[in-house]
Amino acid sequence: MKLQPKKDKITSLQATLLVVNYMIAAGILTLPRVSVEAVGNADAWLAVLIGGVIVSGFGFLIGKLCQMFPGETIYEFGKRILGRLGGGVITLCFVLFFLSLAAYEVRVLAEFIRLFVLDQTPIAVIIVSFMLVAAYLSIGGINPIARICELYFPVILIVMILILLLSLKNFELDNVRPVLGEGWLPVIKGLVDTSLPYLGVEIMLILAAFLQKPQKVLKSLLIAVYVVTPLYVFVVFIAVGVLTVEDVKTVTWPLMSMAMEAEIVGEIFERFEAFLVVMWVMAMYVTFVIAHYLGSLGAAHIAGKNFKWFIYGFLPLIFLMSLYPSNIVELFELGDYISYLGMTLASILPAFLLLVAKIRRVANGQS
């Protein structure tokens, strides 16, 4: 069943950037708060660092698994390992995960936009306009999506670095001290939650099939994690340094608060958060498009139809799902569940599949 045209190939750089762009999404704005809440003290950045290392371990499993089945998505090799039914269940899980993630992302975006940019516009208008623009890209398949990652990544990186640099002025080292004042225990306790922002490695289970050089899957996945890790660590470190542990815990969008404090001498760039808004909408867009596309692809595998049917077909579904949480607290709770599901798909599932594949000795002959 060849549902995606096989000529669609992406380079390993594109795969890396797809994963990076997909990771940096809703999480980054709330990351300081989430991590500090999990750890409870200024050592949050340490937990985020270790979280990155742990996720790169998951990445290793995923890479190994994908290398056994070059040119196949998990939708395809899942069936080979676990049989028709098991593979179908895995695909269904992925579709569900991607759809709920897309719905979650677009709702977070809408809440954010309503808070900072458009306070009187109905949330449905924000969501629908965003989804329509996203559908325009996801209908084009993986190649345009990969190219837009390449286009946006420099923008996202530059804005992030600028905000971090400009915040250094308000940075106070005392806020992040003492290091390990309460020992390693809080850090270790927080590890589960600080790994969640790295959610995104799991898309490699599908992207690997599009790689021009399938053997590079592990490398490009690990590079992606290593690009995001220092960025996350700095964001948490500097946010805590600027806002203090107590403040970070209380504000909903710590990174936004940090950007609001940043300024260049003179009044022209007083409002730096506008750039953060622009950057973040772009990042959310890419994440949404990837989730939307990969979810549609999975559904196409189950139904045996062209994925374009599902790109349009899922729009109303995502819309309804995104309106389900009644307020932002519920929304973030829902986000946690989605993250746990994602983490399961990114860690336990590949380990399990790898084990079964080794035992049953199923692998793609051409590797």
Partner 1 sequence: MHNFDIQAGIIKAYLGANWSDSRDMLKGFSKKKKLQQKRDQTDDYSEQPGPVVTNQLDQNITYLKERIGHSEDVIFRPFYIEDKTQRATLLYVEGMVDKTVLHHQLLESLMKTRKVDLDPFSQHEKIEFLMSQMISVGQVKRIKCLEESVSEVLKGNTLLLVDGIEAAISVGTVGYESRTVDEPITESVVRGPREGFVENMNVNSTLIRRRLKNPDLTFRNFEIGARTHKKIGVVSIRGLTNPEILNDIISRIERINIDDVPESGVVEQLIEDNPFSVFPQIQNTERVDRVVGALLEGRVVILIEGSPFALIAPVTFSMFMSSPEDYYERWIPTSLVRMLRYGSLFIALFLPSLYISLISYNQGLLPTRLVISIAASREGVPFPSIVEALIMEVSIEILREAGLRLPQPIGQAVGIVGGLVIGQAAVEAGIVSPIMVIVVALTAISSFVFPQYGAGIAVRILRFFMMISAAVLGLYGIILAFILVTAHMVKLKSFGVDYLTPFAPIRIQSWKDLFVRFPIYSLGQRPEMIKPLDKIRHSMKPKGK
Q: Which two tokens stand for residue 313?
A: 């077909």
* Cβ 308 to partner 1 shortest distance, Å: 14
- Taking CB under 8 A as the criterion, the residue among 89, 179, 185, 278 binding partner 1 is 278
- Of 40, 346, 345, nearest to 191 by C-alpha is 40
Check residue 133 for interaction with partner 1 (CB under 8 A): yes
Task: Draw the binding track, 97-116, toward partner 1 (x: CB under 8 A; -: no contact).
Answer: ----------------x---
Task: Draw the binding track, 229-268, toward partner 1 (x: CB under 8 A; -: no contact).
Answer: --------------------------------------xx
HSE (CB half, 13 Å, CA atoms) of 308? Answer: 6
Tally: H helices and E strands in the chain: 15, 0
* Cβ 16 to partner 1 shortest distance, Å: 11
* Cβ 168 to partner 1 shortest distance, Å: 22
**Nearest CB to partner 1, comparing residues 145 and 357:** 145
* Residue 10 φ/ψ, nearest 5 degrees: -120, 155
Q: For partner 1, which stretch binds (CB under 8 A), given 59-67, 143-151, 181-189, 246-254?
A: 143-151
**Nearest CB to partner 1, comparing residues 129 and 367:** 129
Contacting partner 1 within 213-232 (CB under 8 A): none
* Cβ 171 to partner 1 shortest distance, Å: 23
Helix (H) or strand (E) holding 290: helix 273-303
Check residue 118 for interaction with partner 1 (CB under 8 A): yes
Check residue 128 for interaction with partner 1 (CB under 8 A): no
* Cβ 274 to partner 1 shortest distance, Å: 5
* Cβ 119 to partner 1 shortest distance, Å: 9
Cβ contact 19:201 at 8 Å: yes
d(CA 222, CA 58) in angstroms, rounded, equals 10
Contacts 24+ apart (CB under 8 A), 65-69: 65/205, 65/350, 65/353, 65/354, 65/357, 66/204, 66/205, 66/208, 66/214, 66/217, 66/218, 67/214, 67/215, 67/217, 67/218, 67/367, 68/354, 68/357, 68/363, 68/364, 68/367, 69/363, 69/364, 69/367
Dihedral of the alpha carbons of 292, 77, 343, 317, in degrees to the nearest 10: 30
- Whats the size of the chain, residue-wise? 367
Helix (H) or strand (E) holding 126: helix 123-138
Q: How many residues bind partner 1 (CB under 8 A)?
A: 34
Check residue 136 for interaction with partner 1 (CB under 8 A): yes
Check residue 129 for interaction with partner 1 (CB under 8 A): yes
- Taking CB under 8 A as the criterion, the residue among 66, 148, 231, 297 binding partner 1 is 148
The binding site for partner 1 (CB under 8 A) comprises 11, 13-14, 113, 117-118, 121, 125-126, 129-130, 133, 136-137, 140, 144, 146-152, 267-268, 270-271, 273-274, 277-278, 281-282, 285
